[in-house]
Amino acid sequence: MKTRVFGLIAVVLIVVCILAYKTNRTPQTQNTTTHPRVLLVADLHEAGSDGDACAEIIHSVRAAQARGIAVLELSPDSKSNLLTRYHVLTIPTVLILDHNEQVVARFEGEGPDTVVAVRSQMRQLK
């Protein structure tokens, strides 16, 4: 009889601990790991290049990430299914996603207009 009581108490404690853990997780942590708000596909080795348009785009996206925006960076040779899902054919590509992971803005290439547009969009993200 005592072992049944101890077993029941152990099960109840485990359930309480699991519930406490799940209720104390922050939504921001969940969104950062599962739902990026910005998807960057670029040759990330170019980030250190001076005066390079791709480097400017990478820095703009990383500045948004430093402010707390959820960002996922991928290299073009990654095996991620996101490259296929979002039809990424041009490098660099920056996608702004909504909470349903639908594309709300897309920027492709390294043209001067693209760099300015990415920089502006990254500053506006909250």
66 has pLDDT over 80: yes
Q: What is the pLDDT of residues 77-86, one digit of tens each?
A: 998 999 999 9
What's the whole-number average pLDDT of the chain? 85
3-state secondary structure of 77: coil
Taking the domain 35-124, which CATH number applies?
A: 3.40.30.10
| In the chain, where the domains are located | 1-30, 35-124
Higher per-residue confidence, 27 vs 40:
40
53 has pLDDT over 80: yes
* Residue 46's pLDDT band (cuts 50, 70, 90): confident
Single pTM value for the model? 0.70
Residues 66/60, Cβ–Cβ less than 8 Å: no
Asked if the bond preceding 27 is cis, omega within 30° of 0, the reply is: no
| Helix pair 112-124, 53-66: axis angle to 10 deg | 0
Per-residue pLDDT at 24: 65
Higher per-residue confidence, 116 vs 34:
116
Per-residue pLDDT at 121: 94
Pick from 100, 95, 99: nearest CA to 121: 95
- d(CA 32, CA 29) in angstroms, rounded, equals 5
Q: What is the pLDDT of residues 88-124, one digit of tens each?
A: 999 999 999 998 999 999 999 999 999 999 999 999 9
